[in-house]
Chains A and B, each alone.
Chain A
Amino acid sequence: MFDRMDRAIAKFRKTCDYVEIRVETSQSTAVAVKKTEIENVRESISKGGCVRAYHRGGIGFASFNDLDRMEEFARAAVDQAKLAGGGKTLLARTEPVKAHVAARIASDPRRVSAAEKADILRAYGEAALSFDGRIRETSMSWQDAFKTVYFMNSEGARISQEKLDMGGGLAAIAVADGKTQAGHLGFGSSTDFGCIRGHEEEFKEECRYAVELLSAPPIKGGKYTVIADQHLAGVFAHEAFGHMSEGEKVSENPNLLEVMKIGKKFGGEILNIYDTGSVAGSRGFLAFDDEGVPAGRIDLIVAGRLAGRLHTRETAGKVGEAVTGSARAVNYTFPPIPRMRNTCIAPGKSRLEEMLDGIGLGVYAVKARGGQAGEMFTFSAARAFMIRDGRIAELVRNATLSGNLFTTLANIDMIGDDFRQLEGGGGCGKGAAGGFQFPLPVADGAPHIRIRDVVIGGQ
């Protein structure tokens, strides 16, 4: 594969500032089971590539399936970069690496038949349906993908990486009087098929809450002190802060760079947030990013102050910062953009009881169903409990939290000592030039956190 890529790069190396080629082959299996029946099984075979060229600040990008026409697409990308260019190409320096990264596999999903995967999922479904008559629907899904990515650029980098990614989810839907409530859980790994097993107890708890939520009252909208559990706090780190740390906006907008200046205070001394590609086994594990940059750990907030952000070589080069190994593309049809890997709030010192203490009326928000963020973020808790006089009280439904990122970070007044690394079954989606990129394997981690003055929507 490299020979062909090398020939195409050699042809255009001298005619533009920079050119790279990425080729991907992948094979994946997806299984979905509803109740006890298979809903969907799919085998997927994929092959494709892309060329990205820079010239005088302009970018040309061409993606294709027909690898025999690689040189033709390289020419197209280089011509486009020339047409777009008119300034200066600013790519942060990085050492061109030659490496092969073999997937570290503890237990290989490719050795397990689709039927066996379906059987494991089916067992979860059967257990949920027999848990309570009001659990009417269960939905279990699994996907594994094994990918080999070949990367080569005009600076001499030449990297092949094998990547295994696995994720799944279990959902139970409770129905009564025409109303539905759901319980979910997710899991994933980059090394171990075994991550599909061992969720019986947690799923049972999700089923129990789905049933209880049927008769729980909706939360009353308003402003509350919120304690978020590890899962929700991790989603908060990802949605509310992680996306804002992605470098492309500041690199294009000098005003925003001023607002997001390194060293600026965003939260209290207790707040530390980082993003790392180094946690082995995590879905956020990454050896090299899609520009061939090693993917280590980067501190985003240290003691409440902005300490770093997530960069591609271009966004780093434009603002004069160092590369971070955060340039990622979902697949060969997209150019790499700044993305998270495994985003974490570092543990603090508070115990949950201390955090509850002193809250007259508040909300304990548990697990996130999902989130979306800009300057304002929104995410919904899977379930929530009112906090009354320092104690966790009744269950409520429909708690959707929202807020302004900057004021909310400043309002985090306690951080727990109970950090948990969390692997979800889905992935991160992000819209950018070149299209909406989803689902990118990521992970997060956090302890419990307490936030003052959170707006919760309601009726």
Chain B
Amino acid sequence: MIEKILEMARKKADQAEVFSISQTRTSVGFENGVLRMLNTAETSGVALRVIKGGRMGFGVSSDLSRIGELVDKTTALSEIGEKAGYSFPGGFQPVPDIAQGNPVDLPAAKMIGIGKRLVSILTGHDGSLEAGAGLGCASETVRVLNSCGFDASYTSSTFGAGVSAELAEEGNMLHVHESYGGVVEPDDYDGLARLCIEKLEAARRNVPIQAGRFRVILSPAALADVLTAFTWYGANGSLAAKGLGPLVGKIGEKILDERISIIDDPLKPGAVCSCPFDDEGVPSRRKHLVEKGIFRGFLTDLKSAWKLGMQSSGNGFRQKPLEKDKSFAAGVAPDISNLVMEPGDMTVDAMRASGGPTVEIHHLTGILLGDMTNGDFSGNLELAFRVKDGRLDGRVKNAMIGGNFYDLFSSNLAGLGAELHHTGNFGGGTGWFLPYACLDDVFIAAKG
């Protein structure tokens, strides 16, 4: 069927490309300590792109009984479509196998058993908690086929597990969660519940915070949210092609503290965003985006690379905004695959031991609402702690952090943690590997 679409389309256009994806997923969800829902999905769809007379037509369908209509509509759109002075990539050079281990395909009954144990650890700790858990296996097969001779496919499987605990009382709500995402099962499921309890206990007591300047420790998850200013905006080749963002014309220049190196690694074994080629058929490669503080290059897809006069970096992905899963219905845009930040040499204990006023942030909300194109961000301290005598000493809330990513990570960096943690931005993704980060002299606005 996929071949037929290509065959029909190439007759009507100069170039054609078909992207197809089939996804299957099984998940189990626990709410308030009990198993609530089992979910399965078996979905598939195709995206067709044609280039005709230097212009692009784009059509998508989940109804393969209407492929004639898809081809006709898509080629018709190329009459008016965006300019596309580039070619789809040709024959595929196989890359080394990204060994993913054996895909996890747990039966629902086993996931239910694990979920039950996780919620029982939480409710065993405190019966008044609203304990939640979720586990899921997903598998997707991607195929890219184009009229320039590219035809390759791969299957990737991922597994995720998460726990959450919520306390609600008059004038105070507290939500903590921990999650894991990988291609294999985690070594220690119970550790997720234990971490959740640890955070919950540290946050049970609210302590006041006065507006002022603080040492700020960002957990890997909070750092991931802040890094969005770089991955979605600054390093985004599509914005750069329009001359937007603070990194335009800065390749080879120092943009961050020299202790910071950021790598896009789509070939990282066992990481959830690993893939042999991107969603346009460009082979994946590992590269530095920032090396010792120096900006090395943008994340690009075929289109933004063409506009910038570069080669695609192999970062053309089809994802809907804020969604982690690929979607045939989404347009291609540059995005990061697995992100790795090189670790520093500071322990979390050392970060907490400065003696000055210190806040440790684990979860921010509203981070996308700042003016991130410039690197400005602001976020609400959804889960943050006052640090006193080297340890977490109560939750601070009703406060906001704000600043410019490039300024803070050039001038205010006290150090990066020595260990990398598996995380992702906006509480998911999980193809990111980040340390704790410690910044000095950061302003926090608060009611006090």
Contact = CB atoms under 8 A, between A and B. Distances in A.
A379 B41 contact: no
A276 B128 CA distance: 35
A371 B369 contact: yes
A433 B167 contact: no
A433 B322 contact: no
A458 B82 contact: no
Given A45-B60, A58-B37, A380-B369, A403 B80 contact: no
A276 to B, nearest CB: 27
A67 B376 CA distance: 47
Interface string A50-69: 00000001111111111000
A87 B380 contact: no
A370 B331 contact: no
A459 to B, nearest CB: 6
A400 interface: yes
Interface string B361-389: 00001101111011010111110000000
A455 B445 contact: yes
A372 B445 CA distance: 18
A453 B445 contact: no
B378 A400 contact: yes
Contacts of A255: 128, 130, 167-169
A83 B82 contact: no
Interface size class of A (residues with CB under 8 A): 35 or more
A253 B34 CA distance: 12
A221 B32 contact: no
A38 interface: yes
B369 A87 contact: no
Contact of A59 (B38, B112, B380): B38
Given A63-B41, A456-B445, A376 B376 contact: no
Contact of A84 (B36, B42, B403): B36
A223 interface: yes
Contact of B61 (A45, A73, A397): A45
Contacts of B79: 115
B402 A402 contact: no
Contacts of B227: none
A40 B331 contact: yes
Interface string B52-75: 000001111111001001100110
Interface stretch (B5-13, B90-98, B241-249, B257-265): B241-249
B2 interface: no
Nearest to A119: B80
Given A38-B82, A222-B445, A379-B366, A455 B399 contact: yes
Contacts of A374: 173, 175, 365, 382
B252 to A, nearest CB: 17
B369 A453 contact: no
A373 B169 CA distance: 18
Given A404-B397, A404-B398, A455-B398, A44 B40 contact: no
Interface string A172-185: 01010011111000
A252 B244 contact: no
Nearest to A42: B58
Contacts of A83: 38, 108-109, 112
A173 B173 CA distance: 39
B445 A175 contact: no
Interface in B315-372: 320-323, 329, 331, 365-366, 368-371
B44 interface: yes
Given A173-B244, A256-B168, A455-B398, A43 B74 contact: yes
Contacts of B39: 60-62, 80, 335, 433-434
Contacts of B35: 58, 84, 86
A6 B62 CA distance: 23
Nearest to A47: B63
Contacts of A178: 246
A403 B171 CA distance: 12
A132 B59 CA distance: 36
Nearest to B43: A65
A221 B173 contact: no
A126 B253 CA distance: 35
B57 A41 contact: yes
Given A46-B63, A375-B173, A453-B447, A333 B244 contact: no
B37 A180 contact: no
Contacts of B391: none
Contacts of B34: 57, 86-87
Interface string A396-413: 011010111011000000
B240 interface: no
Nearest to A181: B371
Contacts of A333: 41, 43
Contacts of A256: 130, 166, 168, 173
A1 interface: no
Given A175-B243, A222-B211, A80 B43 contact: no
Contacts of A37: 82-83
A369 interface: yes
B121 interface: no
Given A58-B37, A433-B37, A402 B380 contact: yes
Which interface residue of B38, B66, B171 has the most chain A CB atoms within 10 A? B38
A102 B368 CA distance: 38
Interface string B16-47: 00000000000011011011111111111100
Which interface residue of A115, A222, A252, A456 has the most chain B CB atoms within 10 A? A252
Contacts of B380: 372, 376-378, 402, 457
A306 B81 CA distance: 51
Contacts of B370: 380, 398, 400
B418 interface: no
Contacts of B404: 459
A370 B365 CA distance: 12
A400 B82 contact: no
Contact of A60 (B37, B41, B74, B331): B37
Nearest to B169: A255
Nearest to B72: A43
15 contacts: A43-B73, A64-B41, A84-B28, A136-B242, A223-B445, A255-B169, A256-B168, A335-B39, A372-B369, A378-B400, A379-B366, A400-B378, A438-B322, A457-B380, A458-B402
Given A333-B43, A433-B29, 16 more contacts: A37-B83, A42-B60, A43-B74, A45-B63, A45-B69, A46-B63, A61-B38, A63-B42, A80-B108, A81-B38, A375-B172, A377-B380, A398-B376, A400-B378, A458-B402, A458-B445
